[in-house]
Amino acid sequence: MKTIQGPAIFLAQFVGDEAPFNSFDGICGWVASLGYKGVQVPTWDKRLMDLERAANSQDYCDELIATAAKHGVVISELSTHLQGQLVAVHPAYDEAFDGFADPSVRGNPDARQAWAVEQLKMAAKASKRLGLNAHATFSGALAWPYFYPWPQRPAGLVEEAFSELGRRWKPILEAFDEAGVDLCYEIHPGEDLHDGVTFERFLDEVDHHQRANILYDPSHFVLQHLDYLAFIDHYHDRIKMFHVKDAELNLNGKCGVYGGFQNWVDRPGRFRSIGDGQVDFKGIFSKLTAYDFAGWAVLEWECCLKHPEDGAREGAQHIQDFIIRVTDKAFDDFADSGVDAQANRRMLGLE
């Protein structure tokens, strides 16, 4: 078994226009002061990194590594959540997601998709230059507007959506394979890959590509009322990344998992800072450790109540406490009788 790495932190929710949150150097110094050892870097914010430069310049990547190392921190992974979303966008969401794209391709869905694909391919190259072995993204969604079967879905609609999704992602997966990096889809409502069944549908469409893997985030399963511990049993061989994020689902007599279009603070299902929700992190860390997960435990802060800086500070200590330093000996070694193979055969009545 291997010891999970961490604590690390996803920087997307902390970037801002004021120091120390407005530069890679500054934010690395801040997270290091809280006890973090790794940073997961969003690639769409040039205050932290320039993705195109990282894809094409080893010197630039070495500078990023050195900047992090100055603070005793390493880059754990890169993220293209926003760009991955744009690989597949249903027309109903064109305007809502257009702001994720470069201004030059907004209002042009075909150009926007081509831009997104190129962003993913650059991320594969950048990850390789940075010496990383996993990458975080979203799958995008073509079928999501039809997730609830009313009106009844016409025959073949879902199959066609997943066929097209697979067609779009196959060349990207090949680019990540060439770079030697696992592409990890965050299983997330709003994406076509939002549970185990939809992930399996996607695997079928990409011929079970070895680079098609999972970013495991239990908070999204709490909100779906899905057994997030059993999920690990089913898909542990594909789980290559881990977001440590808490959530709670407090059912009531007025609305359920869909939330009634309410603000987050009023919804039955809502994200919370680590330790304030219902996720059994001890169970999760135990299962991932038993299944030999050797990646990073990465805090993703999303909370409708607590200040992000407090969530980050508390989260570092929580993750450190959850990480299990694996044992190098059996607890009952003291009772080892030291018998040999011949004695074993005698004990079984074979000699």
pLDDT tens digits, residue range 52-87? 999 999 999 999 999 999 999 999 999 999 999 999
| Cα torsion 218, 222, 224, 229: sign | positive
Burial 186-200 (b: 16+ CB within 10 A, else e): bbbbebbbbebebbe
Secondary structure class of 188 (helix, strand, coil): coil
The structure tokens 């950048």 sit at 126
Predicted local confidence at residue 334, as pLDDT: 59
Give the model confidence (pLDDT) of 273-327 as tens digits.
999 999 999 999 999 999 999 999 999 999 999 999 999 999 999 999 999 999 8
Could you list the beta-strand ranges (E) of 138-187. Answer: 182-186
Token pair belonging to 61: 């990547």
142, amino acid identity: L
- In the chain, where the domains are located: 5-348
Query: Beta strands 246-249 and 269-272: pairing type?
Result: antiparallel
Residue type, 216: Y
Phi-psi region of 7 (alpha: psi -120 to 50; beta: other; left: phi over 0): beta
CATH (one of 3.30.750.24, 3.30.465.10, 3.20.20.150, 3.30.10.20) for 5-348: 3.20.20.150
Mean pLDDT of 1-22: 96
Q: What is the pTM of this model?
A: 0.95
